Structure 1
Amino acid sequence: MSDDFGFWDVMVSIFWFTILLAWISLLVHILIDIFRDDTLGGGMKAVWTIFIILIPWLGALVYLISRGDSMNKRNREAAMARMEMYGAQRPAAPQVSEELQRLAELRDTGVLTPAEYDQAKAKVLA
């Protein structure tokens, strides 16, 4: 019997390790979804959690079949809420028309020369 650990043995090990990481990630996502769901009561959350932990293959399969659509909906709603939260924190960019109006006022009052106005206008419109 050879003690060599060849290239294909490494590839098979990497494959199984990747499958293991994907499996752990799936279980974590399912557990997060169980506790994120507002429609489930505490007792049902406990039952699903115990089912997922004690019989993980069957529990994950049953959960994905029975609640997979609502799981996707909750993930989408959470992503939209995060987008809204970060979007609300960003300062609003000035509108192009407002910027052009401000530049026209500066030109009319003599602060900007017509050449400077044209350069600034081109920059705003770019």
Structure 2
Amino acid sequence: MSFWEDFWDIFWWLFCVYVFLAFLWALFAVIGDLFRDDKLSGWWKAVWILVLAFLPFLGLLVYVIARGKGMTERSMERARTNREASDTYIRGIATASPSEEISKATALRDSGTISADEFERIKSKALA
């Protein structure tokens, strides 16, 4: 009988693969959190790494129970900081300074592309 002939063997194999991948994801998330935490000393980081190396399931469970709330808070703070930096960068790239907008409008007015009324409207919008 082949492995692929029994549905429950396939189901069990897929379940074991899923559990293993979930364990690896959690392990890497914990290790990443360990090294991003500025408040934890290097010695405690080393102790946690040793515990995770020799007792991986138990160490992962204890870490999530003991430091899970802080892990979430650090993750949320990091996401907020990244979002603010991204928003600042986008605002800096997307909008020109008022003096740049007025100088562009002046060049358009001088070339005859826009009228004096349009120039005044752009100028007042840039200064607002």
* TM-score normalised by the chain length of structure 1: 0.69
Q: Relative to 1, partners in 2 of residues 1:9 and 1:89: Cα closer, same or farther, differing over 3 Å?
A: same
- Tell me by how many angstroms 1:92 deviates: 7.5
Q: Show CA shifts across 1:62-111 (max 9, x none).
A: 111111100100010111111011111104777xxxxxxxxxxxxxxxx8
Root-mean-square deviation (CA), in Å?
3.2
Question: Equivalent residue of 2:4, what SS?
Answer: coil
**Alignment correspondent of 1:108:** none
Q: Relative to 1, partners in 2 of residues 1:54 and 1:19: Cα closer, same or farther, differing over 3 Å?
A: same
- Tell me by how many angstroms 1:4 deviates: 4.5
**Alignment correspondent of 1:3:** 2
- Tell me by how many angstroms 1:112 deviates: 7.6
Identity %: 34
**Alignment correspondent of 1:61:** 61
Gaps of 5+ in 1: 95-110, 118-126
Give the count of matched residue pairs: 113
Gaps of 5+ in 2: 96-112, 119-128
More helix by share: 2
